């Protein structure tokens, strides 16, 4: 059914009655359901069988004919992926972590029917001596501010009604009927929103440039080709709240005068693709996409384009080439896509997270948006927190929050009592930030000033067990694989930098290697065609700057201080050995000698440094050095 302008609020009000238990919005205390089970169906939890958990709850509820009093809701990512599969029970917001399929029976019986929260299954940090913290009050959640992720974990991403109930498409309605395209662009410009895909270019200005080009044929493109190792911000937004991106793209089309949009998304994101397909179909059925949207004069169509996995297709000119059906290779800029993009027409390209902020800005106004964040980087930023950190997951914080706050207050610090060494931001284009810079506020300019960058939002924490030369090697390996091969400095230079790093990790590094690395890095920076090549050396340069001693140890002393580079470590059995023979029995190359109840010895020439002896030793007598 095609909706009219007035239908939006009616549907929202009708739906909200069914959502009253979920905490938001707060002014609807009564409704048909007595309990609600919220199940994360993001990629992480789904891969840990949250789909089966959901089915189990549905089966149990159906068996007792409780469908009308207990609702089961599929949502997008809650954020704390480390605790997945995550199940939350309302009222109360009880936070169950690491739920297994069988746990569904216990939670159903004891909590949903018996009203007694199952303490042993609740997220440990939420259990206090005198009570249980709801999900919204555990430290991980408390210190965040969710704008782009506002609906993730609250609504069923496959039901447009729930998006409408949370104020969805109301910004679009306001824009179409009460604002001119100029006013929309002025509002976005005033908000100070910057491109959250990593570039940080002022979004409003991009819209202005594209709008300023004459001609009826223009395009709106959403860059959902997220590819940084360990990053899943855009994926989570699309999985948890696909309509917000669709709404923002329609608004962008209205603002710049485009009638066609494309979402370029990686084919490796099947759940996000599926939810977007559902969302687009729902929006089309509702008349929110297509001709004369909501009865206005504005028409807009939206299509998906699936990427084939090339990292460089996140670069906007390569992305355009890929949508056009050509090999995904960047081209020189200018001309910028705002002037000559898809099929040579003016094209607006924004990232998923940037679009996710647009409805909020237009609904609440630029001034309200600016209350969060810093003067030059207003708003929030979503990060995918990973690596050696307790709370692995998705976090959204106001710009200006320090790295320390993210790592310790939200991330919960480093597990297993290890020492923090560095945090990597900006993916393969970013850099490693050492402990002395932990109080740097997170915003576009501050991170750039310390040799890293915001990037799309990958944030990988490293501890004392990470070798920084190995980290640089890892990122260079990634870039060498992902270079498109078009320009010489990137195609040839990254390979040579990788070879040098491999040599250093292999204990064959020479003093001159550092100079050669730096020289190649400067050439890649100065001479490469696109940002991928220009930033390819950042992980090398930033680790060289902060962790030069580790490079020196590898090259001069043939030693890997973190004990990671296998060519440079050796295993050794100390006096603590009790002669249990476990190591000798498990050694795959039989290089450990010794008799029962006597200290064993490793033949270091034959040892392949697999570390199994260390893993199996019951008394920690095997050390690596």
Positions in the binding site for other proteins (CB under 8 A): 310, 327, 329, 331-332, 480-489, 491-496, 499, 519-520, 523, 526-529
DSSP for 557-620 reads S---TTS--GGG--EEE-TT-----HHHHH-TT--EE--TTS--EE-TTT-----HHHHH-TT-
Smaller CB distance to other proteins: residue 100 or 486? 486
Closest approach, Cβ 324 to other proteins, in A, equals 14
Smaller CB distance to other proteins: residue 311 or 420? 311
CA atoms of 232 and 358, how far apart (whole Å): 20
Closest approach, Cβ 534 to other proteins, in A, equals 9
Contact in structure between 323 and 305 (CB atoms under 8 Å) = yes
Question: What 8-state DSSP symbol labels residue 67?
Answer: T
Closest approach, Cβ 500 to other proteins, in A, equals 9
Closest approach, Cβ 332 to other proteins, in A, equals 4
Closest approach, Cβ 490 to other proteins, in A, equals 8
Smaller CB distance to other proteins: residue 371 or 519? 519
**Chain CA centroid to CA 591, Å:** 44
Smaller CB distance to other proteins: residue 55 or 492? 492
CA atoms of 440 and 288, how far apart (whole Å): 43
Smaller CB distance to other proteins: residue 401 or 523? 523
Closest CA to 530 of 497, 485, 498: 485
Smaller CB distance to other proteins: residue 62 or 308? 308
Tokens 């937004």 belong to residue: 237
Smaller CB distance to other proteins: residue 42 or 489? 489
Closest approach, Cβ 238 to other proteins, in A, equals 26
The contacts of residue 339 (CB under 8 Å, 6+ apart) are 209, 213, 346
- What would the two tokens of residue 81 be? 């992926």
Smaller CB distance to other proteins: residue 519 or 595? 519
**Chain CA centroid to CA 144, Å:** 15
CA atoms of 155 and 140, how far apart (whole Å): 20
Closest approach, Cβ 327 to other proteins, in A, equals 6
CA atoms of 531 and 594, how far apart (whole Å): 57
**Chain CA centroid to CA 263, Å:** 18
Closest approach, Cβ 447 to other proteins, in A, equals 19
Closest approach, Cβ 531 to other proteins, in A, equals 13
Closest approach, Cβ 214 to other proteins, in A, equals 20
Smaller CB distance to other proteins: residue 135 or 444? 444
- What would the two tokens of residue 486 be? 């078009």
Closest approach, Cβ 575 to other proteins, in A, equals 42
Rg from Cα positions in the chain = 27
- What would the two tokens of residue 413 be? 């610090």
Smaller CB distance to other proteins: residue 43 or 480? 480
Closest CA to 347 of 220, 158, 462, 198: 220
CA atoms of 71 and 73, how far apart (whole Å): 6
Contact in structure between 264 and 316 (CB atoms under 8 Å) = no
Distances (CA, A) of 193 to 167, 202, 357, 521, 588: 21, 6, 8, 32, 57
Alpha helices in 463-565 (DSSP H): 468-482, 488-505, 512-527, 531-534, 538-546, 548-556
Distances (CA, A) of 216 to 211, 257, 550: 10, 7, 57
CA atoms of 85 and 81, how far apart (whole Å): 8
**Chain CA centroid to CA 10, Å:** 35
Smaller CB distance to other proteins: residue 331 or 559? 331
Distances (CA, A) of 62 to 59, 68, 70, 88: 5, 10, 10, 19
Question: What 8-state DSSP symbol labels residue 128?
Answer: E
Closest approach, Cβ 519 to other proteins, in A, equals 7
Given the DSSP bridges, would you call strands 601-602 and 592-593 parallel, antiparallel or unpaired?
A: antiparallel
Closest approach, Cβ 553 to other proteins, in A, equals 24
Smaller CB distance to other proteins: residue 13 or 481? 481
Smaller CB distance to other proteins: residue 114 or 344? 344
Smaller CB distance to other proteins: residue 25 or 309? 309
Closest approach, Cβ 126 to other proteins, in A, equals 46
**3-class DSSP state of 208:** helix
Smaller CB distance to other proteins: residue 160 or 484? 484
**3-class DSSP state of 39:** strand
Closest approach, Cβ 267 to other proteins, in A, equals 16
Closest CA to 231 of 341, 145, 353, 126: 353
């Amino acid at each position: 059914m095609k909706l009219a302008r007035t239908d939006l609020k009616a549907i929202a009000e009708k739906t909200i009655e069914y959502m009253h238990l979920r905490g938001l919005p707060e002014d609807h205390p009564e409704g048909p359901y007595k309990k609600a089970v919220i199940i994360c169906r993001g990629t992480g939890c789904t891969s840990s069988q949250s789909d089966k958990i959901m089915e189990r709850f549905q089966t149990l509820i159906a068996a007792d004919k409780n469908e009308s009093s207990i609702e089961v809701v599929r949502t997008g990512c809650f954020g704390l992926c480390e605790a997945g599969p995550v199940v939350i029970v309302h009222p109360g917001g009880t936070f169950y972590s690491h739920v297994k399929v069988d746990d569904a029976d216990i939670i159903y019986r004891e909590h949903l029917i018996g009203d007694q929260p199952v303490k042993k299954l609740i997220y440990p940090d939420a259990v206090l001596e005198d009570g249980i913290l709801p999900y919204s009050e555990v430290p991980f959640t408390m210190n965040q501010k969710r704008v782009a992720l506002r609906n993730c974990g609250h609504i069923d991403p496959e039901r447009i009604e729930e998006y409408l109930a949370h104020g969805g498409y109301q910004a679009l309605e306001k824009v179409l009927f009460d604002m001119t395209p100029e006013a929309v662009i002025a509002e976005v410009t005033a908000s100070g929103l910057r491109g959250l895909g990593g570039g940080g270019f002022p979004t409003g200005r991009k819209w202005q440039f594209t709008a300023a080009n004459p001609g009826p044929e223009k395009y709106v493109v959403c860059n959902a080709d997220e590819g940084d190792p360990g990053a899943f911000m855009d994926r989570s937004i699309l999985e948890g709240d696909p309509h917000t991106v669709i709404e923002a793209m329609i608004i962008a089309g209205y603002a710049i005068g485009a009638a066609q949009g494309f979402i370029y998304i990686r084919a490796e994101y099947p759940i996000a693709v599926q939810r977007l397909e559902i969302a687009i179909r729902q929006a089309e059925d509702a008349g929110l996409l297509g001709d004369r949207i909501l009865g206005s004069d504005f028409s807009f169509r939206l299509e998906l384009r699936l990427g084939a996995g090339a990292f460089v297709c996140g670069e906007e000119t390569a992305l355009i080439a890929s949508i056009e059906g050509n090999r995904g290779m960047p081209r020189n800029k200018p001309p910028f896509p705002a002037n000559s993009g898809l099929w040579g027409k003016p094209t607006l390209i924004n990232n998923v997270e940037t679009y996710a902020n647009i409805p909020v800005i237009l609904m609440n106004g630029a001034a309200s948006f600016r209350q969060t964040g810093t003067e030059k980087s207003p708003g929030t930023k979503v990060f995918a927190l990973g690596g050696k950190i307790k709370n692995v997951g998705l976090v959204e914080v106001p710009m200006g929050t320090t790295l320390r706050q993210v790592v310790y207050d939200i991330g919960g610090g480093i597990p297993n009592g290890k020492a923090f060494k560095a945090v990597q931001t900006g993916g393969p284009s970013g850099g490693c930030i050492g402990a002395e810079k932990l109080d740097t506020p997170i915003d576009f300019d501050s991170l750039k000033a310390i040799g890293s960058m915001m990037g799309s939002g990958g944030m990988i924490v490293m501890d004392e067990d990470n070798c920084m030369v190995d980290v640089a090697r890892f990122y260079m390996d990634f870039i060498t694989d992902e270079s498109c091969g078009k320009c010489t400095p990137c195609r040839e230079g990254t390979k040579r930098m990788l070879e040098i790093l491999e040599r250093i990790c292999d204990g064959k590094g020479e003093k001159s290697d550092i100079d050669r690395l730096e020289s190649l890095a400067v050439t890649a920076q100065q001479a490469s065609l696109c940002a991928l090549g220009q930033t390819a050396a950042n992980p090398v340069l930033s680790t060289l700057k902060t962790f030069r001693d580790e490079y020196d140890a590898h090259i001069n002393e043939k030693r890997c201080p973190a004990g990671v580079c296998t060519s440079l470590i050796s295993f050794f059995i100390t006096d603590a050995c009790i002669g249990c023979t476990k190591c000798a029995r498990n050694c795959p190359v039989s290089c450990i000698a010794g008799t029962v109840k006597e200290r064993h010895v490793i033949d270091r020439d034959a040892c392949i440094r697999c570390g199994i002896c260390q893993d199996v030793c019951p008394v920690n007598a095997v050390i690596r050095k």
